[in-house]
Structure 1
Amino acid sequence: MTLPDGVERHDFGGETGLATRGEPVYGEATDGAWRRWDPDRSKLGAMLALGMETGLAGSETVLYLGAAAGTTVSHVADFAGPTYAVEFAPRPVRDLLDAADPRPNLFPLLKDAREPESYAHVVEPADVLVQDVATRGQALVANRNARFLRPDGRLLLSIKARSEDVTADPAAVFEDVLTTLEERYEIEASESLAPHHDDHLGVVARPRRDGTF
């Protein structure tokens, strides 16, 4: 697996982990100017730790849906270009603003990812769409936001089975979500995020090229 420029492996107390260079955000371990990207706290971090080929190279324009308090999106902004962070809950956005303060390329947006028209006037075309939104209809959110992706861009999605249906078999939930995603995307890879995150599926996809949307 090729790591993005700006993501390295460092030793933290005798344990090797991924790291980005930036100000700490959530009490993570540090090695000089480098901060550990904890895969147990980050779905995208787990995707990288598990060796999924995300296609991230570094310096991309990123739209991040479900930014919460900034745990993962702060790591992304450490190595990416302009990074738009969408979060609908006011309380975590206050922490997100703190994470953005030393990162001039990180732009918090107090918006609902289910309503992309509310921030379409702000967000520029993105190379990467990262989504970690714990809500029913995760595929619909990704499909609605496909409008922001460049034709050669990619979606990096974490599907949380219990957000779709707490009673259903996760495998069945994942199948349904992937089927809906295929209305707008070509699925390149999908992999369980266990042991870092139970009942989660990491997905790498690209916008469909056949003009069906």
Structure 2
Amino acid sequence: MKQTKFHGVFEKRQGKRKQILTKNIAPGKIVYDEKLIRDKGEEYRTWDPRKSKLAAAILKGVKEIGIRPGSVVLYLGASYGTTPSHVSDIVGKEGFVFALDFAPRVVRELVFVCEERKNMAPMMFDANQPQEYKKKIIRPVDVVYQDIAQREQAEIFLKNCERFLDKKGIGVLAVKARSVDVTKKPGAIFDQVKQKLEKHMIVIDFKRLDPYEKDHCIFICRRK
């Protein structure tokens, strides 16, 4: 087991194939169909890049994710908790993850994930209405991570970064091109999103996520 350039993210090679993992903050528990691997007395969870855009971005060589041990993360679009659970592993006991989703059925499942992870709290709110949950987040966060399949993805992301992101924080935006406009090519959509972001933030990295996630990309941003 080898530490990657990102603290809290590990790698293991199987021949030519590189597998990334996180150290399990809830030993013995799995969240989806990941495998548990023990190494030198520690338990790790395999991180599937086909089920997590953040894992895909790491394997595609993204230069920064902003998430490290002790980070406070606002995660927009937490869904069933697949990627948020790995973020929970990375930030560890000194960090915290606000895991937000709008769908009641999804949040019901997310609650069970959070019960096993004391550094992770479920929140049922609409990410497009940050004023509704501003009292839940009492200090600026180190990272705003967004993975929401809505047409106004960039606008929602910027709104939340403006309200919650620390001045030295990192914003991570996963974009699904087909959710923005099914009539345009993904590359054109990504360029359009980049232009919107650059009016308010500094884009420090961009990666398309093929072959793990078709027609998806990820932007890494800082505040201006």
TM-score w.r.t. the length of structure 1 is 0.92
Q: Distance in 2 between matches of 1:87 and 1:153?
A: 22
Match of 1:6 in 2: 8
Q: Distance in 1 between matches of 2:74 and 2:34?
A: 24
Q: Distance in 2 between matches of 1:66 and 1:43?
A: 12
Match of 2:183 in 1: 167
Maintained 8 Å contact 1:3/1:57: no
Residue deviations 1:73-116 (CA, integer Å, cap 9, x gap): 01001111111011000111112111111110101100111111
Residue deviations 1:139-194 (CA, integer Å, cap 9, x gap): 00111101201101011111110000111111111111111112321111111111
Q: Distance in 1 between matches of 2:56 and 2:165?
A: 23
Aligned-residue offset at 1:4: 2.8
Match of 2:119 in 1: 105
Determine if the alignment matches structure 1 residue 153 to structure 2 residue 164: no
Return closer, same or farther for 1:88/1:97 CA change in 2, 3 Å cut-off: same
Q: Distance in 2 between matches of 1:192 and 1:78?
A: 25
Maintained 8 Å contact 2:143/2:171: yes
Q: Distance in 2 between matches of 1:116 and 1:182?
A: 21
Return closer, same or farther for 1:2/1:19 CA change in 2, 3 Å cut-off: closer
Return closer, same or farther for 1:17/1:56 CA change in 2, 3 Å cut-off: same
Residue deviations 1:102-137 (CA, integer Å, cap 9, x gap): 110101100111111111101131111111001001
Tell me the amino acid that sits aligned with residue 134 of structure 2: A
Match of 2:197 in 1: 181
Number of residues paired by the alignment? 208
Maintained 8 Å contact 1:160/1:201: yes
Determine if the alignment matches structure 1 residue 195 to structure 2 residue 197: no
Aligned-residue offset at 1:11: 5.5
Instruction: Structure 2: state its 5+ residue gaps.
Output: none
4+ residue runs of structure 1 moved beyond 4 angstroms?
A: 11-15
Aligned-residue offset at 1:15: 5.1
Determine if the alignment matches structure 1 residue 61 to structure 2 residue 82: no
Return closer, same or farther for 1:160/1:180 CA change in 2, 3 Å cut-off: same
2:52 equivalent among 30, 42, 48: 42
Tell me the amino acid that sits aligned with residue 174 of structure 1: F
Instruction: Structure 1: state its 5+ residue gaps.
Output: 209-213
Q: Distance in 1 between matches of 2:34 and 2:76?
A: 22
Q: Distance in 1 between matches of 2:136 and 2:209?
A: 32
CA RMSD for the aligned pairs?
Answer: 1.8
Tell me the amino acid that sits aligned with residue 36 of structure 2: T
Matching of residues 80-99 of structure 1 within 5 Å: 80=91, 81-99=95-113
Using the aligned pairs only, state the percent identity. Answer: 38
Q: Distance in 2 between matches of 1:187 and 1:44?
A: 17
TM-score w.r.t. the length of structure 2 is 0.88
Match of 2:36 in 1: 30
1:17 equivalent among 16, 19, 34: 19
Maintained 8 Å contact 1:4/1:58: no
Maintained 8 Å contact 2:10/2:20: yes
